[in-house]
């Protein structure tokens, strides 16, 4: 296993290359803002699925490791292996093993785990459908695969506010550059079922967009980092983008954030039935 990207790179390079390079100042704070907005929902779901003492966990694309640490500190799991292409934001600590690896590499085989978790990772990777199957193979019998990714909640009927214009340009720009595609996210339950998992289910959570909230900071930072990709779509210009950032932080902001869909499925338990 290596940290070297595998497979054909999209036009603008892969995640972390042209857009969201980890070496750019503040990238850890941007990831932390997203984590702050969604960690509570993720932890509540993982606890409801029974994740707790004795569990071995794999967190794929672990980012700054907020969830890995909460699994250890709050859920009391036995261990977490946190894997990312770039592990500069992941200091190891007791119970937390850290590994630099590209999860799309064919030789990515870190063992099997009772929980395999990936949040805001697959949507950025072109091989996402194959990856659902390969991540399912890393789940131990009786264990669970939990996938979370963004769902775009703007529609043709959503009024053109600075927010919706910027949001649409962002999805379009990220798709054209690094290959991000959130249109497939609502199909995750179907993909989990197709990967041989059972008792599949899913839910969506949407953090409220309020001035100064972590999710508002996250979108403002994300637009700043993907500004060139957004402008290249022609759907937004610099002035509108600046207006969208001000709108996010204003009392006039009346918009629905993108949501987080979490889907999960269980690996059949191979133990003979008594």
Ligand X SMILES: C[S@@+](CC[C@H](N)C(=O)[O-])C[C@H]1O[C@@H](n2cnc3c(N)ncnc32)[C@H](O)[C@@H]1O
Residues near ligand X (CB under 6 A): 15-16, 31, 34-35, 61-63, 84-86, 102-104, 119-121, 124-125
Residues across the chain: 274
CB of 108 to ligand X, least distance (A): 8
The alpha carbon of 244 is separated from its chain's Cα centroid by a whole number of angstroms, namely 23
CB of 78 to ligand X, least distance (A): 20
Distances (CA, A) of 81 to 55, 124, 237, 240: 11, 21, 42, 42
**Which residue number, 121 or 209, has a Cβ lying nearer to ligand X?**
121
CB of 271 to ligand X, least distance (A): 31
**Which residue number, 95 or 214, has a Cβ lying nearer to ligand X?**
214
204: β partners: 261
CB of 32 to ligand X, least distance (A): 8
**Which residue number, 123 or 253, has a Cβ lying nearer to ligand X?**
123
For residue 13, what are the contacts with CB-CB under 8 A and spacing of at least 6?
A: 19, 177, 178
CB of 15 to ligand X, least distance (A): 4
C-alpha to C-alpha distance for 240 and 247, rounded to whole angstroms: 10
CB of 84 to ligand X, least distance (A): 5
Task: Put the strands of the sheet holding 79-84 in their side by side order.
Answer: 96-100, 79-84, 56-60, 113-119, 139-151, 259-266, 198-205
For residue 110, give the DSSP letter: -
**Which residue number, 38 or 55, has a Cβ lying nearer to ligand X?**
38
**Which residue number, 6 or 190, has a Cβ lying nearer to ligand X?**
6
C-alpha to C-alpha distance for 248 and 121, rounded to whole angstroms: 25
Q: Specify the 3-state DSSP secondary structure of 118.
A: strand
Whether residue 208 contacts residue 257, with contact meaning beta carbons closer than 8 Å, is answered with yes
**Which residue number, 229 or 247, has a Cβ lying nearer to ligand X?**
229
The residue at minimum Cβ distance from ligand X is: 63
For residue 152, what are the contacts with CB-CB under 8 A and spacing of at least 6?
A: 167, 171, 182, 183, 258
CB of 179 to ligand X, least distance (A): 11
**Which residue number, 114 or 119, has a Cβ lying nearer to ligand X?**
119
200: β partners: none
């Amino acid at each position: 296993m290596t940290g070297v990207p595998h497979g054909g790179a999209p036009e603008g390079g892969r995640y972390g290359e042209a857009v969201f390079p980890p070496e750019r100042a503040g990238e850890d704070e941007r990831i932390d803002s997203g984590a702050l907005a969604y960690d509570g929902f993720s932890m509540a779901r993982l606890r409801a699925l029974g994740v707790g003492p004795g569990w071995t966990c794999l967190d794929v694309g672990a980012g700054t490791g907020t969830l890995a640490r909460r699994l250890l500190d709050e859920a009391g799991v036995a261990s977490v292996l946190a894997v990312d292409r770039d592990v500069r934001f992941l200091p190891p600590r007791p119970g937390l093993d850290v590994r630099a690896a590209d999860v799309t590499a064919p030789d990515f085989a870190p063992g099997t785990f009772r929980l395999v978790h990936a949040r805001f990772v697959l949507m950025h990777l072109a091989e996402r459908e194959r990856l659902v199957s390969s991540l399912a193979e890393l789940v131990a019998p009786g264990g669970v695969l939990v996938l979370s990714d963004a769902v775009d909640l703007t529609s043709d009927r959503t009024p053109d506010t600075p927010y919706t214009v910027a949001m649409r340009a962002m999805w379009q720009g990220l798709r054209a550059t690094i290959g991000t595609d959130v249109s497939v996210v609502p199909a995750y339950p179907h993909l989990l079922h197709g990967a041989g998992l059972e008792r599949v289910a899913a839910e969506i959570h949407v953090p409220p967009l309020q001035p100064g909230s972590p999710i508002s900071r996250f979108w403002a930072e994300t637009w700043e980092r993907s500004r060139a990709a957004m402008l290249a779509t022609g759907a937004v210009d610099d002035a509108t983008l600046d207006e969208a950032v001000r709108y996010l932080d204003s009392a006039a902001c009346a918009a629905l954030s993108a949501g987080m869909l979490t889907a999960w499925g269980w690996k059949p338990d191979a133990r003979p039935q008594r």
